[in-house]
Amino acid sequence: MKILLLLLSLIARSSQLTLNECGTEARRPQITDIAVECGTSSIGLAIQICPVVYTGYNETLLILNHMLDTECRATLDESVSPPVARFNFPLNMTHACGSTFRTTSAAGTGIFSDFSNIQTVNISGIIRSVDPTTGTITYNAELKYYYSCAYPLEYLVNNTQIDVSSSSVSVQDNNGSFISTLSMELFSDANFTVPMKIPDLGIELRTDVYVEVKATNLTGQYHVLLDRCYASISPFPSNSSYFNLFVPCSKDQFTTMIENGESQSARFKFPAFRFIEQQNETVSTYYLHCITRLCEKSSCSTFKQCSNRRKRNTVDTTSVGITKTYTITSPEIITKAESNESKEEPYVAEDEDNSNVGLSVAVGVLAFACVVAITVAAMLYKKLKN
């Protein structure tokens, strides 16, 4: 009874839309009346209000997951045509206006086909109408609007341009993406505070390159876990030459993992190298690509166990099976070619030193031989004279 009185008071204060104002939009509800926008930090719902008014309700009588909190209520938006009732709530398991969070796992496909466990989180709920009619009967039909958003938790983060698709609108459910929250940046210090500036002539070989893949504006229950990072001479993941910095359960001996799956940042470092096929070029230019997983805090440790993962040995970036490929920009890496002088000077100096030592020894031996010969000759001459 208290809930009904509260709803009635809300109706009295609301700016109600009349059937006359709806015009041709006043009709029976249809399944396409709800649009779902799956954002990176919140979910937006828009319900055409005229069919709601036609049925005998208004925006104040549409209740999201039985939640009467002010932030979970609908607002009337007459700036669009047709007008809609809008809901917007955060992607937060502790307060998502009663939405249900469900995480599912399945084998990966396409470029993720070597991973046996790819997770997707599904966020769903229902909007119901509340009938204000008192008495035994009512002539108002009950309205129900279901919604759901599916967010895959595995992404390819590489060095190409940002290609984040705008959130599409669909009927009742939708696929969302957290890809726009991910970024990759290179640093030159162990504290990850000094961005790496790569000159045109490149950085020195064996220079430490610190890499950070970070999520921003991401709901707090997820951490960033790097599954695999590799370098290629092409800015696009393709069949060009590549080098694995690390793959599940294995890494290059010179790659150091600093942080992975423990927060909303993943960090590692590696010494700058060059591709042999670019040995005749002044500099060696290549790019980083990282397959990144967003894992729930409670399950990140599971994905770091080798028994639950399949080691990836080959690159298959041309496989089909993924409907969308998302990429994020990071700078190219350029390393210097060692000059002839830098390679030869140490050896020239060493040869000169060796020659000097050898010459000194030879001169000493020759002088000693001369002294011995003179001494012997003198002794023989003295003996013969006597």
- Where does the pLDDT of residue 38 fall: very low under 50, low under 70, confident under 90, or very high at 90 and above? confident
Kindly report, residue by residue over 179-224, the tens digit of the pLDDT.
Answer: 667 888 999 999 999 999 988 888 999 999 999 988 887 777 788 8
Which of 332, 334, 333, 318 lies closest to 156, judged by CA? 318
Global pTM?
A: 0.59
Assess whether pLDDT exceeds 80 at residue 231: yes
- Where does the pLDDT of residue 116 fall: very low under 50, low under 70, confident under 90, or very high at 90 and above? low
Assess whether pLDDT exceeds 90 at residue 76: yes
| pLDDT given for residue 107 in this prediction | 66
Choice between 63 and 118, residue whose per-residue pLDDT is larger = 63
Compute the average pLDDT of residues 40-68. 91
Q: Looking at 62-76, 286-300, 328-342, which range is the least confident one?
A: 328-342
Structure tokens at 303: 């994905």
d(CA 284, CA 233) in angstroms, rounded, equals 8
CB atoms within 10 A of CB 187: 18
- Where does the pLDDT of residue 372 fall: very low under 50, low under 70, confident under 90, or very high at 90 and above? low
Helix H or strand E encompassing 224: strand 222-232
| pLDDT given for residue 348 in this prediction | 40
Residue 86 makes CB contacts below 8 A (sequence gap 6+) with 44, 45, 46, 74, 75, 76, 77
| pLDDT given for residue 256 in this prediction | 95
Kindly report, residue by residue over 239-286, the tens digit of the pLDDT.
Answer: 678 899 988 888 899 999 999 989 989 999 999 999 888 888 888 888
- Where does the pLDDT of residue 40 fall: very low under 50, low under 70, confident under 90, or very high at 90 and above? confident
Structural domains of the chain sorted by starting position, each given as residue range(s) with its CATH number in brackets? 2-152 (2.60.40.3210), 179-336 (2.60.40.4100)
Q: What is the mean pLDDT of the chain?
A: 75
Assess whether pLDDT exceeds 70 at residue 338: no
Assess whether pLDDT exceeds 50 at residue 168: no
| pLDDT given for residue 377 in this prediction | 67
Assess whether pLDDT exceeds 80 at residue 105: no
Assess whether pLDDT exceeds 60 at residue 317: no
Structure tokens at 209: 């390159």
Kindly report, residue by residue over 9-22, the tens digit of the pLDDT.
Answer: 544 444 577 777 88
| pLDDT given for residue 239 in this prediction | 64
- Where does the pLDDT of residue 330 fall: very low under 50, low under 70, confident under 90, or very high at 90 and above? low
Express as a percent the part of the chain with pLDDT over 90: 26
HEC string of 108-161?
Answer: CCHHHCCCCCEEEEEEEEEEEECCCCCCCCCCCCCCEEEEEEEEECEEEEECCC
- Where does the pLDDT of residue 237 fall: very low under 50, low under 70, confident under 90, or very high at 90 and above? low
Compute the average pLDDT of residues 229-242. 78
Q: Looking at 34-43, 70-79, 287-296, 330-339, which range is the least confident one?
A: 330-339
Residue 113 makes CB contacts below 8 A (sequence gap 6+) with 107, 316, 319, 321
